[in-house]
Amino acid sequence: MTEPTLRDRIRAIRVFPTDLPSFNTDAAPADPIALLTDWLVTAIDGGVAQPHAMVLATANASGVPSARTLLLKDVTAEGVWFASLSSGPKGHDLDENPQCALVLYWREQGRQVRITGSVKKGPRAVSEADFLARHPLARAAAIAGEQSRPEPSADQKRAAITAASAAIEANPDLVPDEWNAYVVEPDSVEFWQAGPDRTETRLSFTRVENAWSSQLIWP
């Protein structure tokens, strides 16, 4: 018997469960932020694994792209929020080219949301509150290291984190200047829903001046 190829094994993977939520596009709100909030709450309440995991794609001034998964922090009328060090690759890209794309994918519910838009730094108070809500070890790691730079020796790393932890213990309100909450102000938002018998529904929103236009698009 011939062993299946990797391609065969990939194609044999079951993609979605059978009990997927419905998507009544006729009842969708006119504002995609409201629909995104509804889908996110449904994912949280439905037990989706890491429903706040979100892919952020950026590009530098030369157009070289980069993507990574991070955590969505909030959804408000202003847009979609995440946080990071402005001194890292994400921050450098956004300083040079303040545009990004986001993807949220909830496999258990057969749903995906794609967002493109402009990015700006949020108020300093929001950035500080976000950082102080992190676990002390996560705060120490952010203070101690230079994100995405080559890691030092184990002893040097341990010493840097120990020093950062001591600084936090001495000043529990310590927040590095480089830590920022960012808000993505959407220009386009697309909602994708898988359905039975491999059917798909895509509802696309596009910002037109200060209003939203929506339409169904081909899968």
Q: What is the separation of C-alpha 98 from the centre of its chain, rounded to a whole number of angstroms? A: 16
- Where residue 197 sits, what CATH number does that domain have? 2.30.110.10
In a domain, 68, yes or no: yes
pLDDT of 147 reads 63
25 within a domain of the structure (yes/no): yes
Identify whether 119 is part of a domain. yes
Give the count of domains, the chain: 1
Question: Who contacts 162 (Cβ-Cβ below 8 Å, separation ≥6)?
Answer: none
Considering the domain boundaries, does residue 160 fall inside one? no
Buried b (16+ CB within 10 A) or exposed e, 33-64: bebbeebbeebeeeebeebbebebebbeeeee
What is the DSSP secondary-structure string of 105-126? EEGGGTEEEEEEEEEEE--HHH
Alpha carbons 78 and 122: distance in angstroms, whole number: 10
- DSSP assignment of 32-77 equals HHHHHHHHHHHHHHTT-SSTTEEEEEEE-TT--EEEEEEE--EEET
Q: Is residue 157 assigned to a domain?
A: no
Cβ 31 vs Cβ 209: under 8 Å: no
In a domain, 209, yes or no: yes
Is residue 61 included in any domain, yes or no? Answer: yes
- Pull the structure tokens for residue 209: 């001046």
Any domain includes 165 = no
- Is the pLDDT score of 116 beyond 90? yes
pLDDT band for position 148 (50/70/90)? low
Res. 185: pLDDT tops 90:
yes
Task: Report the DSSP beta bridge partners of residue 104.
Answer: 54, 113
Q: Which domain range does residue 50 map to? A: 15-137+179-217
Residue type, 117: G
The model's pLDDT over 26-84, given as tens digits with 9 standing for 90+, comes to 999 999 999 999 999 999 999 999 999 999 999 999 999 999 999 999 999 999 999 99
Tell me the CB-side half-sphere exposure of residue 126, using CA atoms within 13 A. Answer: 15
Kindly report the pTM of this predicted structure. Answer: 0.90
Range 14-35 average pLDDT: 93
